[in-house]
Amino acid sequence: MSGSGSSSGSSPLGGLLERALGWLPAWLGFALIIIAGIAVAVLGIVTNTKVAGFVAFGIAAVASAILAWWSGGKSEPRANPFDRSFGGVVSRIDGWVWLVIFGLFVVASIIAIVTT
């Protein structure tokens, strides 16, 4: 028996959940990523712990979602209460956009490490 599929595909309830959430618009995936990025940045500022790292990751998340959306990437919202996950998945990103997004998170990681 192979375990290479998603957990929602192996569970009848997970498949039902995916069908139930199928009506959600595709742009909601990008919106969820942007909202999460803003939340991370605000959390870093409000809690005053590792502010630069949190803000850097928040800016990277917002910028990457906007760049992927602008360049024609496709997104979809995903939720799985069994894995307690909710967010967006982005696919079909051009190679140069992927490199820029990767670079944003490398820079955010360096900022987080240097400022700890």
Domain assignment present for 6: no
Give the number of domains in the chain: 1
Helices (H), 7-73: 7-10, 12-20, 27-47, 51-70
The range of the structural domain enclosing residue 96 comes to 25-114
Domain assignment present for 14: no
- Stretch 55-65: mean pLDDT: 94
Tens of pLDDT, residue by residue over 61-113, are 999 999 999 998 888 777 767 777 777 778 888 899 999 999 999 999 999 99
Checking if the pLDDT of 2 tops 60, the result is no
Give the residue among 73, 74, 29, 33 at the shortest CA–CA distance from 57: 33
d(CA 79, CA 98): 24
pTM: 0.74
Q: Which two tokens stand for residue 80?
A: 């799985």
pLDDT of 8: 45
Of 53 and 10, the structure prediction assigns the larger pLDDT to 53
